[in-house]
A = this chain, B = another copy of it.
Amino acid sequence: MSVARVTEISATSSTSFEDAVNRGIARASETLRNVRSAWIKEQQVRVEGGKISEYQVNMMVTFVLDD
């Protein structure tokens, strides 16, 4: 009978989508306690000179509220 909040986080990485997910969760965990899961909402890349320069992921992060 817990209550959780869900917030959207956008994170970027120069190497891969999964690294972007990792960075976003690490940063979110600094200010939000009890992060439990993240649902991938959107994935996109920035392009420079015909090559990917940045991977961006938007995700819905769920964290449980303390009683």
Contacts and interface: CB of A to CB of B under 8 A. Distances in A.
Interface string A11-49: 111101110011111111101000111111011111100
Which of under 10, 10 to 19, 20 to 34, or 35 or more describes the interface residues of A? 35 or more
Given A5-B8, A10-B3, A37 B27 contact: no
Interface of A: 1-14, 16-18, 21-29, 31, 35-40, 42-47, 50-52, 54-55, 58, 60, 62, 65
A7 B5 CA distance: 8
**In the complex, the 4 A-B pairs of residues with the closest C-beta atoms, listed nearest first:** A29-B50, A6-B8, A3-B27, A40-B43
Contacts of A4: 9-11
A52 B37 CA distance: 8
